[in-house]
């Protein structure tokens, strides 16, 4: 039996404006697509004859691959343009690059960009759907959606569940989108890490801010680790990677503070031995690789829903 879904957006720029219903609609579609992943022939026909452009102006491996796989599983033709190969390095503006793609009759643009707000801008200058694959420190909606989808598979519901996000929150688009997504689904969110990367000002977003790792981890149902780097952007924010690991790295002893069987997540790429011990990353509590698999079906759901709305069609789902 096939079902159809209500969805009224052509773009997915951010999680913040999404209602709980909308998020659950994406998950309904993702669940249906996940079932089709069990078959030998994983192709679904929904984007047949459509062209999806992956405009990745900032380096990315797993997000780009996940979008490519998602689009091709929906039978779309995909074109991937990366930063170095784009005309932007020749001085072309983002508007001109995107409008050229529209003129090539692309049906959708998936964009990764180093500047916060770039997809907001893009969605104003072109008509076709824009899917944000991560913009600066602003938003990474599909990552947050796949994280929440994974958590829901494990926990059944997020209502009243304590989820802690640990690491560089200040510069993290993953953290921001996760905050909005988890809160929309009823979770209590704590963000933790060094005071310079987890400023108190984040409380305005309705989260608890903690610089005490034990307090942050105690009784958490899930902990989400973020990649820690010590490059140009954060060079003055904390002393060293070694200091970070000693104060905030997740190891076996600290994982004891979590609820038994608490879930450990990481959007990747992992710095083993920095934000997380190797042993924990590979443990049964870790869902890091399931996040990758779910990343495909959640993105299939998003592409399908946005495309259908843009074309004025009801989004049908595969028969279950």
Partner 1 sequence: MSDILWITGGRVIDPANQRDAIGDVFAIDGVFVDSLDQAQMTAATKFDASGLVVAPGLVDIHVHFRDPGQTHKEDIASGSRAAAAGGFTTVVCMPNTSPVCDNAGTIQRIMDKVERDSVINVYPTGCLTIGMDGEQLAPTGQLKNAGVVAVTDDGKCVQSNEIMRRAVEYAKMFDLPIMDHCQDASLTRGSVMNEGEWSLRLGLRGWPKIAEDIIVARNVLLAELTGAHIHMQHVSSANSVEILRRAIARGISVSGEASPHHIEFTDACLKDYDTNYKMNPPLRTEADKEALIEGLCDGTLCCIATDHAPHSPDEKDREFDTAPFGIIGLENSLASSLGTLYHSGRLSLSEVIALMTHKGAELCKLDAGTLSVGAAADICIFDPDEEWTVDADQFFSKSRNCPWNRRTLKAKIKGTYVGGTQVFDGTSITA
| Residues at the interface with partner 1 (CB under 8 A) | 93-95, 113-118, 120-121, 135-139, 170, 173, 176, 199, 201-202, 204-205, 233
Distance CA 171, CA 99 (A): 30
Q: Minimum distance between the CB of residue 33 and partner 1, rounded to whole angstroms?
A: 29
Q: Minimum distance between the CB of residue 99 and partner 1, rounded to whole angstroms?
A: 12
Give the C-alpha distances (Å, rounded to integers) separating 110 from 63, 66, 132, 183. Answer: 10, 11, 6, 25
CB atoms within 10 A of CB 282: 13
Q: Minimum distance between the CB of residue 202 and partner 1, rounded to whole angstroms?
A: 6
Q: Whose Cβ is closer to partner 1: residue 16's or residue 218's?
A: 16
Give the three-class secondary structure for 306. helix
Burial category of 316 from C-beta neighbours within 10 Å (exposed 0-12, middle 13-18, buried 19 and up): middle
Which structure tokens are listed for 92?
């072309």
Q: Whose Cβ is closer to partner 1: residue 35's or residue 95's?
A: 95
Q: Whose Cβ is closer to partner 1: residue 49's or residue 201's?
A: 201
Q: Whose Cβ is closer to partner 1: residue 77's or residue 171's?
A: 171
Q: Minimum distance between the CB of residue 204 and partner 1, rounded to whole angstroms?
A: 4
> Shortest CA distance to 13 belongs to which of 97, 91, 117?
117
Dihedral over Cα of 167, 168, 169, 173: its sign? negative
Q: Whose Cβ is closer to partner 1: residue 119's or residue 295's?
A: 119
Distance CA 6, CA 25 (A): 8
Q: Are strands 263-265 and 222-225 parallel, antiparallel or unpaired?
A: parallel
> Shortest CA distance to 300 belongs to which of 49, 72, 16?
72
Q: Minimum distance between the CB of residue 199 and partner 1, rounded to whole angstroms?
A: 7
Residues 60, 67: contact at Cβ < 8 Å? no
Q: Minimum distance between the CB of residue 181 and partner 1, rounded to whole angstroms?
A: 15
Q: Whose Cβ is closer to partner 1: residue 31's or residue 120's?
A: 120
Distance CA 285, CA 252 (A): 11
Distance CA 139, CA 174 (A): 6
Q: Whose Cβ is closer to partner 1: residue 139's or residue 317's?
A: 139
Q: Minimum distance between the CB of residue 107 and partner 1, rounded to whole angstroms?
A: 23
Q: Whose Cβ is closer to partner 1: residue 64's or residue 176's?
A: 176
| Residue 215 backbone phi and psi in degrees, to 5 | -60, -40
Q: Whose Cβ is closer to partner 1: residue 94's or residue 296's?
A: 94
If you search the block for the tokens 């990649």, which residue do you land on? 227
Q: Minimum distance between the CB of residue 130 and partner 1, rounded to whole angstroms?
A: 13
Distance CA 118, CA 13 (A): 10
Q: Minimum distance between the CB of residue 275 and partner 1, rounded to whole angstroms?
A: 20
Which structure tokens are listed for 239?
């002393």
């Amino acid at each position: 039996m096939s079902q159809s879904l209500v969805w009224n957006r052509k773009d997915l720029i951010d999680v913040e404006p999404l209602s709980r219903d909308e998020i659950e609609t994406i998950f309904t579609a993702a669940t249906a697509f996940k079932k089709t992943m069990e078959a030998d022939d994983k192709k679904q026909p929904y984007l047949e004859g459509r062209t999806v452009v992956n405009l990745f102006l900032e380096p990315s491996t797993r997000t780009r691959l996940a979008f490519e796989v998602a689009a091709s599983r929906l039978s779309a033709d995909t074109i991937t343009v990366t930063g170095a190969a784009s005309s932007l390095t020749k001085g072309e503006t983002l508007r001109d690059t995107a409008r050229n793609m529209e003129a090539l009759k692309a049906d959708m643009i998936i964009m990764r960009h180093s500047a916060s707000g770039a997809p907001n801008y893009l969605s104003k200058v072109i008509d076709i759907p824009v899917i944000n694959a991560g913009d600066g420190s602003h938003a990474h909606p599909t990552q947050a959606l796949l994280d929440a989808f994974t958590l829901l598979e494990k926990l059944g519901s997020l209502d009243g569940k304590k989820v802690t996000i640990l690491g560089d929150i200040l510069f993290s688009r993953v953290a921001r989108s996760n905050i909005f997504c988890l809160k929309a689904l009823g979770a209590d969110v704590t963000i933790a890490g060094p005071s310079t990367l987890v400023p108190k000002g984040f409380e305005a977003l309705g989260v608890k801010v903690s610089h005490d790792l034990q307090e942050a981890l105690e009784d958490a149902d899930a902990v989400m680790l973020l990649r820690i780097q010590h490059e140009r952007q954060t060079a003055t924010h904390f002393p060293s990677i070694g200091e970070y690991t000693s104060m905030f790295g997740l190891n076996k002893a600290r994982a004891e503070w979590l609820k038994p069987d608490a879930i450990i997540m990481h959007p990747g790429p992992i710095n083993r031995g920095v934000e997380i011990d190797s042993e924990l990353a590979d443990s049964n509590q870790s869902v890091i690789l399931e996040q990758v698999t779910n990343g495909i079906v959640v993105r299939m759901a998003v592409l399908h829903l946005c495309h259908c709305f843009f074309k004025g069609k009801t989004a049908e789902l595969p028969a279950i």
